[in-house]
Amino acid sequence: MGQLWQKVRGEFAEIIEWIDDGNEGPAAGSAQAADATLAWRFDRHDGAIRLGSQLIVREGQWAVFLNEGRIADSFRPGRHRLETRNLPLLTTLLALPYGFESPFKAEVVFVTTRRITNLRWGTSHPLILQDPDLGPVRVRGFGSHTLRVSDPAGLVRELCGGRARLGVEDIRGQLRGMIVSRLAEVLGRSGHPVTRLAAHYDALAWEVRVALGTDVQELGLEIPSLLIENLTLPAEVEAALDRRSSHVLGAPPGPPPPPPPPPPPLPPLAAGP
C-alpha cells in the first residue's frame, strides 16, 4: 500500500518524499539491518516534476536532484517548495527561465545519513604474516564496523548509477575487501609477534580505520568505528605454542643458587699506648 501511495503521489508530483521505515534503528539516528537502504530513487511514471511541489526531506536524509545523470541540487532535512530560485544548478542545466512553471524532467534520489551499525567483516582467505619467531604464519580475522554516508552527492555519483535502490548488501563485498586489504597492510608493518596480537586489537583497529579514510571517502562514505574481534592462527600453530608453553611450565627446577660468600675478616684492633 505504501509503494502504491508513493507512486500515485509521484504521478501528480505534488509531494516528493521518502518514508523509510526499514532504516529505523533501536537508537535515534541509527539503523541495524545489514540490508539497510543507503539511497532510494523517487519513482515517477514520466520523471516530470512540477515547480511548486513540496519536497519533504526527513531527519537523517538528504535529497539529491539529477538531470540526465548529472548531479544538480541537494537539499537538507526540511520542507522545501521547489522553485527556480532554490534549484539554481538544475535551472542552469535545463535553461529554465525565471518564473518557469511547467513540469520538467529530473530525477530525485533520497540518501540516508543515519549510522548503519552491526556490519560484519572477515577474511575469506588467510593473511600471511612474517612472525619473528615462527616465520610465515597464516592468520584469519573477523570483526564489525559501522557505516555512514558523509557525502550524499558523492554516493549518488559513485555508487547509485541507474539503481532504483542502493542497499548495504550491494557494497558489502567491496567494503569487506577494503577492510581486509588495509588490515593486511597494518599487520604487516606492525612488527608484533602473532602471539601478542590480541593485546593490540584496539590500536590495530584504529590504524585500519584511519587507512580506510580515503578509500571510503571517495565513495561518499565514512566508517565511524571498526572493531577487531578476533585474529586466529592455524590449529597446528596453536598446538605448537601450547606444547612450548607446557614444556616451559613443566621443566624441572634448576640447581639452587650457591650460598653467598662469607664476609671478609675484620681488621685487627690497633694496640693501645
Output the nine-digit C-alpha cell for 33. 539491518
Output the nine-digit C-alpha cell for 152. 550524499
- Find where cell 514520466 sits: 46
d(CA 4, CA 9): 9
CA 243 to chain centre: 39
Q: For 58-89, write each residue's pLDDT tens digit.
A: 999 999 999 888 999 999 999 999 888 888 88
Alpha helices (runs of H) in 61-200, residue ranges in sequence order: 88-94, 152-155, 168-190
Q: For 210-266, write each residue's pLDDT tens digit.
A: 999 999 999 999 999 999 999 998 888 777 777 776 655 455 555 666 777 777 776
CA distances 31 to 11, 34, 38, Å, are 30, 9, 10
Which residues lie across from 63 on neighbouring strands?
75, 110
pTM: 0.77
Structural domains of the chain in order of their starting residue, each with its CATH number: 2-112 (no CATH), 115-248 (3.30.479.30)
Q: For 174-202, write each residue's pLDDT tens digit.
A: 999 999 999 999 999 998 898 899 999 99
CB 184 within 8 A of CB 125: no
pLDDT of residue 97: 66
